[in-house]
């Protein structure tokens, strides 16, 4: 099935089809600036990036994805060489550590968080500091293609030279008179011009050699260079939070296309913000919430993930603590059902009734699930489907009206759903589940025994043992016990 996603560049739904001959979907996700603990809004962003990749894989695509780690050059005001210090250096000063240690500390924390929310979005996590030569190459191309100019403080991109500037965000150069928006220094030609390379003072902590003297890269150039370096000049999908759209992504397009002469990203996917008290999260207002805070208050990080999935990624989500209670209850509802199904599938006898009323049509549910996600990552619909299944089968389960065979099918279905969700635990099942494969061997063995074909029956027993179960014949039929 094909994914249809909202493309923020064209403002329309677009079917995802690979643009490169090898059929691989190349995705670049703007990642964290590793200078402080991420808030739950940032985490929404990482979960959406993960959801996109997992959905594509679920729908049968082959994906190569990159999420960058920004560990240099993200200035407080990202477009000026002089205005605003590097966020990494501010953190280094605050914590009395070197920028390298700050980066290592928060990169590690970032990965720990990904683990806690069971997100594994990327095949590569390039660090900006490791790709400075690639950035210098792109800047050199931009200069020779006439898109960049040098000043005393650095190299700037001249937005007026790039005719498509503003196509993504609608912030066209014509709208803003030079100097109108931000008091530009004389050396910058236009208000939207942005820095590609900053010439560093001697004492600046992070600096590299370049054709323009020692310095460090601007933030936007990092993503253009790393995307090109790891994925090529034209990628399928670029993602980011909605605040990244301007100026960051607008500038990425200008740089990438200015350097390569080719279209940079086919589809742009932007997630909406998570708000607290209806506003942007801010430390000063006490609304800067971290995953640790969620855990400290007794909630699971996966309940937070459930909360996120109840809202479509392109809708704003206002976080309130009471919503975490309902999210916890919701996730527990799914988990309890799964636990009961697991218990059914490992029961020694199968006394559940099997009739057409309690049969599960896995194929139909799989299709509905894929459809929900294929429709611009419709997690609220996918979750609603999960509850529809629970509402239908839980009463049967409670009244012992569900056969083991159906239980196994439901479990397989939920397992496939969870490859995308990553929020259900199948831990017990790992050790004890009778998979459909084992159940089929058991039925084949039953038939062989009825036909007194003991050679085949012994052969099948060996195959069942190989799958981790001992099988004994009793008056009640064959009994399975997991081999420890
Ligand atoms: P940063 O580490 O500040 O560069 O942000 C990392 C990512 O989180 C960026 O892609 C932002 O667009 C995204 N982001 C920032 N704030 C929020 C928010 N409140 N909700 C969702 N995403 C956000
Ligand atoms: Zn980026």
DSSP letters of 379-419? HHHHHHHHHHHHHHHHHHHHTT-S-HHHHHHHHHHHHHHHH
DSSP 70: B
Probe target for ligand 1 pocket from 70, 243, 272, 316, with the most ligand atoms within 8 Å of CB:
243
Centroid of ligand 2 to alpha carbon of 463 (angstroms): 51
Asked if the structure places residue 17 within a domain, the reply is yes
Q: Which ligand has the minimum distance to the alpha carbon of residue 221?
A: 2
Residue 283 falls inside a structural domain: no
Q: Are residues 457 and 345 in the same domain?
A: yes
Q: Both 231 and 329 in a single domain?
A: no
Digit-by-digit pLDDT tens for the chain (484 residues) are 999 999 999 999 999 999 999 999 999 999 999 999 999 999 999 999 999 999 999 999 999 999 999 998 777 665 555 545 788 888 898 999 999 999 999 999 999 999 999 998 789 999 999 999 999 999 999 999 999 999 998 999 999 999 999 999 998 766 554 443 334 444 788 888 999 999 988 888 899 999 999 999 998 999 999 999 999 999 999 999 999 999 999 999 999 999 999 999 999 999 999 999 888 887 777 789 999 999 999 999 999 999 999 999 999 999 999 999 999 999 999 999 999 999 988 877 666 555 556 688 999 999 999 999 999 999 999 999 999 999 999 998 888 888 888 999 999 999 999 999 999 999 865 556 677 788 888 889 989 988 999 999 989 998 888 877 888 887 767 877 777 6
Whether residue 336 is contained in a domain is answered as: yes
Q: Which of 227, 243, 271 is the last residue of a domain?
A: 271
Residues 217 and 337 in one domain: no
Both 111 and 253 in one domain: the answer is: yes
Instruction: Report if residue 294 sits inside a domain.
Output: no
Domain end residue (candidates: 238, 256, 271): 271
Query: Within 10 Å of residue 274's Cβ, how many Cβ atoms?
Result: 23
Q: Read out DSSP for 252-266?
A: HHHHHHHHHSS--EE
If you count them, how many residues does the chain have?
484
Cα–Cα distance between 68 and 88 in angstroms, integer? 15
Cα of 30 to ligand 2 centre, how many Å? 4
| Residues with C-beta less than 6 Å from any ligand 1 atom | 30, 32-33, 41-42, 44-45, 240-241, 243-244, 271, 273-274, 281
| Ligand 1 atom closest to residue 281's alpha carbon, by position in its atom list | 19
pLDDT of the residue at 181: 36
Check: CB of residue 219 under 8 Å from CB of residue 70: yes
Instruction: Report how many domains make up the chain.
Output: 2
Residue 169 lies in a domain: yes
| pTM score, whole prediction | 0.86
Domain limits for position 16: 4-271
Among 271, 306, 337, the domain-final residue is 271
- Burial group, residue 454, by CB count within 10 angstroms (0-12, 13-18, 19+): exposed
Quick one: 249 and 398 in the same domain?
no
Q: In what order do the strands lie in the sheet with 24-29?
A: 62-67, 24-29, 235-241, 265-271
């Amino acid at each position: 099935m094909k994914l249809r996603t909202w493309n923020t560049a064209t403002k329309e739904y677009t079917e995802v089809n690979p643009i490169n001959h090898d059929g691989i979907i190349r995705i670049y996700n703007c990642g964290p600036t590793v200078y402080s603990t991420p808030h739950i809004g940032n985490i929404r962003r990482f979960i959406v990036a993960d959801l996109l990749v997992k959905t594509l894989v679920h729908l049968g695509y082959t994906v190569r994805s990159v999420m960058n780690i920004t560990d240099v050059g993200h200035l407080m005001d990202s477009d000026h060489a002089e205005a605003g210090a590097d966020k990494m250096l501010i953190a280094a000063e605050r914590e009395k550590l070197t920028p390298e240690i700050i980066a290592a500390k928060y990169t590690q924390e970032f990965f720990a968080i990904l683990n806690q929310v069971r997100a594994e979005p990327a095949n590569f996590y390039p660090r900006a500091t490791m790709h400075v030569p690639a950035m210098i190459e792109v800047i050199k191309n931009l200069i020779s293609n006439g898109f960049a100019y040098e000043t005393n403080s650095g190299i700037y991109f001249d937005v007026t030279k790039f005719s498509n500037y503003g196509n993504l965000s609608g912030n066209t150069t014509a709208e803003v008179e030079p100097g109108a928006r931000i008091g530009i220094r004389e050396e910058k030609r236009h208000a939207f011009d942005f820095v590609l390379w900053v010439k560093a003072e001697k004492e600046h902590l992070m600096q590299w050699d370049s054709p323009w003297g020692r310095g460090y890269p601007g933030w936007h150039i990092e993503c253009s260079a790393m995307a090109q370096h790891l994925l090529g000049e034209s990628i399928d999908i670029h993602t980011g939070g909605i605040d990244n759209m301007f100026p960051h992504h607008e500038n990425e397009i200008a740089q990438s296309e200015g350097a390569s002469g080719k279209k940079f990203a086919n589809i742009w996917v932007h997630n909406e913000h998570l708000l607290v008290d209806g506003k942007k999260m801010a430390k000063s207002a006490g609304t800067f919430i971290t995953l640790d805070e969620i855990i400290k208050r007794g909630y699971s990080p996966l309940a937070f993930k459930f909360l996120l999935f109840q809202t479509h990624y392109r809708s704003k989500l206002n976080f309130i603590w009471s919503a975490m209670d309902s999210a916890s209850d919701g996730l527990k509802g799914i988990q309890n059902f799964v636990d009961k199904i697991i218990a059914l599938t490992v029961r020694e006898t199968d006394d559940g009734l099997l009739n057409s009323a309690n049969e599960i049509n896995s194929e139909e549910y799989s299709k509905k699930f894929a459809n929900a996600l294929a429709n611009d990552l419709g997690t609220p619909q996918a979750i609603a489907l999960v509850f529809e299944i629970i509402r239908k089968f839980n009463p049967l389960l409670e009244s012992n009206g569900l056969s083991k065979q159906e239980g196994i099918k439901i479990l397989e279905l939920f397992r496939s759903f969870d490859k995308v969700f990553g929020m259900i635990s199948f831990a017990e099942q790992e050790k004890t589940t009778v998979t459909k494969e084992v159940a089929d061997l058991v039925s084949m063995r039953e038939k062989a025994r009825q036909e007194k074909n003991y050679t085949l029956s012994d052969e099948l027993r060996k195959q069942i043992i190989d799958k981790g179960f001992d099988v004994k014949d009793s008056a009640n039929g064959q009994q399975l016990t997991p081999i420890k």
